[in-house]
Chains A and B, each alone.
Chain A
Amino acid sequence: DTGVSQNPRHKITKRGQNVTFRCDPISEHNRLYWYRQTLGQGPEFLTYFQNEAQLEKSRLLSDRFSAERPKGSFSTLEIQRTEQGDSAMYLCASSPGGGISNQPQHFGDGTRLSIL
């Protein structure tokens, strides 16, 4: 079990630029989640994949955000035309799928995004 891996760990960019984050889940975990955590708050759900299918998106995920999980393996989260309010820690988590319904999610160390 190599854990959930996220890259980069830190990203600093100017307002208006596009950024992309990558998440490599634990191998054979079918479920993959993205969360956003702002300072002093708990993580908030953004989107969910089961294998390669994106099955749920939060209202927090504006049309500037897009996420993919090609071939049901790694996932990417892209933010276009970044805004100051996008500054946050972006967390990825994965868990087994299938008939296993109560397995906990395993989190990566996150990507901290800072918008100048």
Chain B
Amino acid sequence: AQSVTQLGSHVSVSEGALVLLRCNYSSSVPPYLFWYVQYPNQGLQLLLKYTTGATLVKGINGFEAEFKKSETSFHLTKPSAHMSDAAEYFCAVSDRSGGSNYKLTFGKGTLLTVNP
């Protein structure tokens, strides 16, 4: 069974500082990897995904993530935080074989706070 671990349930940064949100997965085969963002009382919005090819993927709003197979990690970064980045961030995986109907398994989320 797949699982996702997000280290740090709450991360606080200053505006303009580097954002680093950590995600590690457990899977017998490297899965598809996703980062979603959730603003209060809203659904989830896709930030970026890794399926195949280049291991450094760029997403919306200046975020990027790097897939490291040897470390089973998919950490999310942004060079300079903006106040509007304050939200909850979820890392998710899905089985690339399709045997699980591509359902998503999520981590518990990391709440990002950006201080002025």
Contact = CB atoms under 8 A, between A and B. Distances in A.
Contact of A91 (B44, B52, B108): B44
Interface SS majority for chain B: loop
Interface string B34-48: 101000011111100
B106 A42 contact: yes
A105 B101 CA distance: 12
A43 interface: yes
Interface centre among B9, B52, B98, B101 (most CB of A within 10 A): B101
Interface residues of A, number: 28
Contacts of B51: 102
B103 A40 contact: no
A4 interface: yes
B101 A50 contact: yes
B96 A101 contact: yes
B43 A42 contact: no
Interface string A35-74: 1000011111100101000011000000000000000000
Contacts, number: 65
Interface SS majority for chain A: strand
A42 B108 CA distance: 4
A31 B102 contact: yes
A112 B41 contact: yes
B6 to A, nearest CB: 8
Contact of B34 (A6, A48, A50, A104): A104
3 smallest CB-CB distances across A and B, nearest first, come from A42-B106, A107-B43, A102-B51
Interface of B: 4, 9, 32, 34, 36, 41-46, 49, 51-52, 90, 92, 96, 98, 100-109
Interface of A: 4, 6, 31, 33, 35, 40-45, 48, 50, 55-56, 91, 93, 95, 101-102, 104-110, 112
